[in-house]
Structure 1
């Protein structure tokens, strides 16, 4: 059976992290290891993580990508799963991930949506439709496959080892999950499963400043991948790859 690591970047989020780690402790399929990346916290984040049995890795360079990539590097599992400090995974989250990746060895990345558990009806509703739904729809069209959602996904270890030198892991002004999506190999199969859900917080959208910052990150992430990762170039590359596979198939059979 594969081993599973859960990576959680955290910055000054001791209380929410404690709830997330309690949810992980209640998993039907326990994690083989939990790696909490302390991104320069000034509160009890590291102490809360250690008290829950997690391994704490320090990353003083602040930013989600620097912290997340440090966690992926530190993880030892065959499968690397990812949550945020304020995520609320259901009890069958890891069981679902393991079962689906065992059943489909061709899938390299498994991702699913988040469901807002706070923020009020209007904020949560708009976030669900515009942010979560809009992200999967628009980036799916752009990429030609489902995008990775950073608050709720799992990837095989070899997928990260192939992508780790291509991503912009030191950037703190871009969306780490979208950047990872752009730098997965075209041969990597990303599966979106709407049944794989976690609770997520609407805190990032509670202020216009927070919302605007994420829009700016999106603009920066997309613009830095043009023109090489434009939708039309990705489609051409996929057609070329498919043609090469068809051409080589008879030789493989022979």
Structure 2
């Protein structure tokens, strides 16, 4: 595995590349940094060149422009991809990461071959009063953070996202968030959650993208509104959604099964074959 840092406008992005094969970028949700995707990446590295990264403002990635939009995050991924490949890549994003992956597909369609968007919180698609309730869930997490701190706010998130730590593979450890993760939660609630609440996905542009777009849902998350959003996204795009192991955080708690299912979904899409990986394309690389 190679660790590198890429200088982009207003930020430095720490990222990791491992494995061989077509390029696949994993975009974590919530306050997740590259370590959240580490197990999933490990299970995919025998078939893909896997790119993981810390979003700007999280862990090893810095930013001096914290007033974020999802377009900012999408442009960051675009620059990472440009440093590594000249061809369309595979993209897998979950939750906030799924929203970023969809925005990437709109803003930089030539860089995306297949995008799997797992339970993107596209609240605009929800009918009332479901939409109002979803927005209230996000606001309640922000308010809990301001009044009580990061840990109570994280509990709010876990509740409306239906996070079940018992729904996991036997070798997956559930750890309490350390200082770095709590700082990531603070950044998420201060900057990223407001961006989620106000973001409007351009469905017309998304439909016109040359990329293959695959909405994904968790097999155990049908009771939460992000699952409903994913199904409505599939309906709006006139495509099928695919079911993945576990719940909203299945990629974290069931990484082995998620890797196999993701490989199956990507293989079924049979795109033109992302390739063209360049070696040493990232600036500021360190081993």
Q: TM-score range by the shorter chain?
A: 0.3 to 0.5
> For the pair shown, which has the larger CA radius of gyration, 1 or 2?
1
- Indicate the structure whose relative CO is greater, using CA pairs within 8 Å and at least 6 residues apart: 2
